[in-house]
Amino acid sequence: MAILLDTSAVLAAADRADLNHDAAVAWFRRADEPLLLSALTLGELDVLLQRELGQHASLAVVDSLVGGEIRLVAPTTADLSRAAGLLGEAAEHRPRLADAVLVAIAERLGVRRVATFDRRPIAVFRPRHVRALDLEP
């Protein structure tokens, strides 16, 4: 199948000062399925990488996308509609759109696995296609 990447997993792998850096690098080395990145996650990731590490870090992600190591997934209109529903269902948790879109894309593509160190924002959603997403590492 595939694995969807959350901002926290990519950021941890890129930032040697991140507490989860070693775990993230080890996880990426053993990842055994195609890696997918939501276009919304890419935008969020760019802001954080630029702020924390500089432009070279953002360019490294672009190189991974252009080189095919990671596949960019654009949300569809149906994904955005589903994300709006997910945001409403979990409103008391004040979820973010990027996380809701990630779950909607996972539903559409049948993806069960999400690479994240920031588990709570994704765990508040109830995907339709599985009981719960497998949050790794």
Beta sheet of 113-115, edge-to-edge order: 70-73, 35-38, 3-5, 113-115, 134-136
Domains identified in the chain, total number: 1
What does R_g of the chain's alpha carbons equal in angstroms?
14
Identify the CATH number of the domain in which residue 120 sits.
3.40.50.1010
Domain range holding 110? 3-136
Walking along the chain (137 residues) 10 residues at a time, the average pLDDT comes out as: 96 96 97 97 96 96 97 98 96 94 98 95 92 93
**In the prediction, which pLDDT does 121 show?**
87
- Separation between Cα atoms, residue 6 and residue 118, nearest integer Å: 8
Q: Which three-class secondary structure state does DSSP give residue 91?
A: helix
| pLDDT score recorded for residue 7 | 96
Is the omega angle on the peptide bond into residue 137 within 30 degrees of 0, that is, cis? yes
Distance, in Å, from the CA atom of 137 to the CA atom of 135, rounded to the nearest integer, reads 7
The pLDDT value recorded for residue 37 is 98
* CA nearest to 125, candidates 36, 96, 27, 57: 96
